[in-house]
Amino acid sequence: MMRLTPISNLMARPSFLPPFMFGLLFATFGVILSAKYSSITVDQSALLALKSHITHDPHNFLATNWSTSTSVCSWIGVTCGSRHHRVTALNLSSMDLTGTISSQLGNLSFLASLDIHQNSFHGTLPIELTNLRRMKYLDFDNNSFSGELSSTLGNLSKLERLSLDWNQISGRIPNSLFKCKELKFLSLFNNSLEGSIPTEIGNLTLLETLDLGDNYFKGEIPLVIGNLTSLQFLYLSNNNLTGEIPLVIGNLTSLRELYLNNNKLTGEIPLVIGNLTSLQFLYLSNNNLTGEIPIVIGNLTSLQFLYLSHNKLTGEIPLVIGNLTSLRELYLAYNKLTGKIPSTIGNLTTLEVIDLAYNNLSGEIPLVIGNLASLQMLYLFNNRLTGEIPLVIGNLTSLQVLSLDSNKLTGRIPTPPPLLQFYAVSTNNLIGEIPSSICNLTSLGAMALHENNLEGTIPKCIGNLSSSLTAVFLGNNNFHGQIPENFAKGCMLRSLHINNNELGGSLPRSLGNCKALNLLDVGNNNLNDTFPSWLGNLDQLQVLILRSNRFYGQIESFDITVSLTKLRIIDLSHNNFSGYLPTLFFEHMHAIRDEYGKKVEPNYMREVKIMKDAHLFWVNYAYGLSVTAKGLEMKFESLLSIWMQIDLSSNQFRGEIPKILGELHLLIVLNLSHNCLVGPIPSSLGNLSELESLDLSSNKLEGRIPTELINLGFLEVLNLSQNNLKGPIPQGKQFDTFTNDSYMGNLDLYGLPLSKNCGTDEETPAIFDRDDDGDELNWKFSILMGYGCGLVLGMSMAYIVFTTGKPWWLIRIVERVRRRFAKR
């Protein structure tokens, strides 16, 4: 029987269902909304925790913007996803922030990109970052992170880019990193990582860029590197890698840049290098590679940069080098290459830099060098090149650096290119005068023409160019006349070498306009002048060489406050200076006197010049400088700032040695010999703790040798001969190493090493009981024996000097000084 439902009941049911359904929907929406806001609150808390770890925000990027009053998604550097409104990317790069990374950053569970490069974050990377399973992009370049990489890096399975360049990460690369098989970019450049390159790196077959340069990796390049066939950029430079370049490198046919330079790689350049036809950058310099440059190098027609310098490569430069028509820079310097410079080099019309220096190349400079219209730098120095400098070099209108020194070039100096900044043709056999066209080089910064057979006068325009010129080397030629007198205000000269010529007249006072002058060498000329006290205005002057001229008169006391306070090498020897030694002069020599010099890092007197396109070249201001110690000349290729020397020998100075000399604590060489000095040797000289050479010979000094000189623990050379010294010779330490030569001509000295001994200060007369004939015979015999021994000794010494070519006692001094100061 069918039951009929009352109409009233049917009307009542709808009144119940809508409120229930509405409540259910409201509750569901509330849960979703609550979840959304709680999640975004987690993100906000994580970011605010990061903000609290930042100790320096100089531009107030976060201080004024990351505020709870605004949505996280509107904060600077923050990107949120459109679907879930969660933080998906954080970019705080180049904000100059300082601080540490909060562990709560690991709570940003939707984060896929984190970029904080170019800041000053420090400390360790929190392990919580490995919780970010969605992470694809991590860039922590250029910070100061330290510690080791987490062994849980493998959790970041979606990671495609990891960049930790320029930090202080240490330890080994954890094997877990190689579980991140999606990695396309891995850069750990310039850290302190060590150990061998793990073989597991072969798992990262999607890698396009691998940069492990500037670390402490050792061992061989793993063969599994050949698995990484997608690699376009491989950087392993500046490590301690050994062994040969693996043949599997030939598998990497997509490579565009290969950097293996500055390691300890051996063997030959493999022929498979010819497979890498996409290669644009090939850096193999500073290794121990041997053999010849392979002919297959000619296959690399896309190559723009070829660096093979500082190896042990032999043979000739292959003719196929002319195939590399895209080449911009060619560095083959510091090898053992022979033969001629190939004429095919003229095909390389895009070349900007050629460096073939320090090889054994011979023949003439090819005329096709004139085809290289883009050439900016040409280094051919220290080879065996002959013939004349090609005139076509003057047509290279882009050339800025020309270095042809230390060859066997002949003829005259041709017209130089118009934009030349560095011009070096020294140590050749060039003749004639300096061309007047050199006066047109308004950008000339350094000019080295020394050690040739040049003659004539120095062009007056040298003074006019001094607004750009920083270094002039004209020494060891045959120039006569006078030094130009027109050094203008604003003169930029740092170094002036015009030694060993035939220049006369006086030292031009206009040099006083060269306020930056570091080094002045006018030695071995015919200059006739009084001491240039006006040089006291040059407060940057460090080296002053006036030796072997005709300077005369007294060294006047300075009446100015500057007075050469940075002077550390002064050589006034072999002149006609007279009067007392200048006490006030020594008082102002703060560079030698002050103890602070010991705390300064030793450096060379040189400066790097930056040209356009970021090309660099060094100007070595002290190149070729020679100093004299114990009558032997020593030439510097470069001069450390810790070399301190005073040489006032072979003049007519009189009076006593000033005690203040004992306050020049950093002095290494002191020579006051061949003067008219009297009185005692000051005991204060025992305070010269760095002294290695002391020559007071051929004066009229008297009294005892101060026992305080025993304190000179580094004293290598001592000459007190030809004086009026008396009493016992001090014993012990360095004094036990000196021979008779150190004391000859002092009749009242006794004790070792002299054969004359005395128990007291009083002279004991000799007693003879032999007859006169016997005395005469013994006297003649003694002379013959002395003459014979002297002849043998002299010939032996001459043989040693002429066969070795080097005074080894002096070499030991220089090397010991270098090592001693390097430890400080």
Same domain for 707 and 653 = yes
Question: Which element (helix H / strand E) includes 40?
Answer: helix 17-52
Does 21 fall in a domain? no
Q: How many CA atoms lie within 13 A of 619 on its CB side?
A: 25
pLDDT (0 to 100) of residue 626: 77
End-to-end CA, the chain: 114
User: CA–CA separation, 65 vs 75, rounded Å?
Assistant: 6
Residue type, 13: R
SS3 content of the chain, % helix, strand, coil (to 5): 25, 25, 50
User: CA–CA separation, 629 vs 691, rounded Å?
Assistant: 12
Same domain for 739 and 801 = no
For residues 397 and 421, is the Cβ–Cβ distance under 8 A?
Answer: no
Asked which of 148, 173, 193 is the last residue of a domain, the reply is 193
Which residue ranges in the chain fall short of pLDDT 50?
1-17, 20, 24-37, 596-597, 759-824
Same domain for 743 and 624 = yes
Does 620 fall in a domain? yes
Same domain for 630 and 729 = yes
Does 690 fall in a domain? yes
For residues 724 and 744, is the Cβ–Cβ distance under 8 A?
Answer: no
- CA dihedral for 420, 423, 429, 430, sign (positive or negative): positive
Which of 234, 268, 232, 227 minimizes the C-alpha distance to 251?
227
Which of 550, 511, 504, 503 minimizes the C-alpha distance to 531?
550
Q: How many CA atoms lie within 13 A of 585 on its CB side?
A: 19
CA distances from 684 to 583, 658, 705 (A): 14, 9, 12
Same domain for 183 and 51 = yes
Average pLDDT score, the chain: 86
Does 176 fall in a domain? yes
pLDDT (0 to 100) of residue 465: 81
Same domain for 745 and 598 = yes
Same domain for 806 and 706 = no
The number of folded domains in the chain is 3
User: CA–CA separation, 106 vs 128, rounded Å?
Assistant: 5
User: CA–CA separation, 600 vs 641, rounded Å?
Assistant: 9
Same domain for 163 and 55 = yes
Q: pTM value?
A: 0.83
Same domain for 741 and 676 = yes
User: CA–CA separation, 624 vs 84, rounded Å?
Assistant: 72
Provide the 8-state DSSP code for 736: G
User: CA–CA separation, 501 vs 486, rounded Å?
Assistant: 20
For residues 680 and 703, is the Cβ–Cβ distance under 8 A?
Answer: yes
Phi, psi of 8 (to 5 degrees): -65, -35
Same domain for 738 and 799 = no
Does 784 fall in a domain? no
Does 221 fall in a domain? no
What is the pairing mode between strands 410-412 and 429-432? parallel
Please list, residue by residue across 380-407, b when 16 or more beta carbons sit within 10 angstroms of its beta carbon and e when fewer do. Answer: bbbbebeeebbebbbbbeebbbbbbbbb
Does 808 fall in a domain? yes
Asked which of 167, 193, 219 is the last residue of a domain, the reply is 193
Q: Which domain holds residue 816?
A: 795-823
Asked which of 171, 193, 215 is the last residue of a domain, the reply is 193
pLDDT (0 to 100) of residue 293: 98
User: CA–CA separation, 648 vs 7, rounded Å?
Assistant: 132
Which of 215, 343, 318 minimizes the C-alpha distance to 308?
318
Does 9 fall in a domain? no
Q: What CATH code is carried by the domain that includes residue 746? A: 3.80.10.10
What is the pairing mode between strands 422-424 and 446-448? parallel
Same domain for 816 and 729 = no
Same domain for 813 and 741 = no
- CA dihedral for 774, 778, 779, 784, sign (positive or negative): positive
User: CA–CA separation, 519 vs 636, rounded Å?
Assistant: 13
Provide the 8-state DSSP code for 337: -
